[in-house]
Amino acid sequence: MVELSLDKFQSRPSVYAILRRDNSILMCRNKSNGKIWFPGGGVDSNETHEQALRRECLEETGVNDIRIKKLLADYQNYFYYKPEDLAMDAHIFFYECETNQEKVKLNDEIDDEEAIDFQWLKINQIVQDDLCDLNEEIYNLLISLQI
């Protein structure tokens, strides 16, 4: 926990892909805390959510065959990112997406400050406490997607 003044927080809309392929979900590890999360990130001022999802997935994972199905959830989340001393007022949107593309970037191909170790996981392999943020909410969202 860190105590911060309200004026330190920056607004940041973000999109994340719950990207499915053959009953698995694409997850990564965050370098800063070792927790798992989803491909995605901030929405640039000139982008739609769809454009940001496609850009972030391609940049981070190399996956370019993405079908965006629907918005699953959105949350207001306040967090502190210690490596860059940033406090964020993040409005994060989670989209269910699908792909047929199995191959993802290897660690030495990833040019991202935070994401590494992309892998396809079955939902029953995901542990709630291993999620980076919004553990209970996101875990329940994933459980609701099980087939």
8-state DSSP, 2 = -
Query: What is this structure's pTM?
Result: 0.87
pLDDT confidence of residue 48:
97
53 half-sphere exposure, CB direction, 13 A CA radius: 24
pLDDT confidence of residue 147:
57
pLDDT confidence of residue 131:
95
Instruction: Report the CATH architecture of 8-144.
Output: Alpha-Beta Complex (3.90)
Asked whether the beta carbons of 92 and 111 are under 8 A apart, the reply is no
Give residue limits of the domains in the chain: 8-144
Question: Cα Rg for the chain, rounded, in angstroms?
Answer: 15
pLDDT confidence of residue 85:
79
Q: What is the mean pLDDT of each run of 10 residues along the chain (147 residues)?
A: 76 93 94 92 94 96 96 88 79 96 93 90 94 90 86
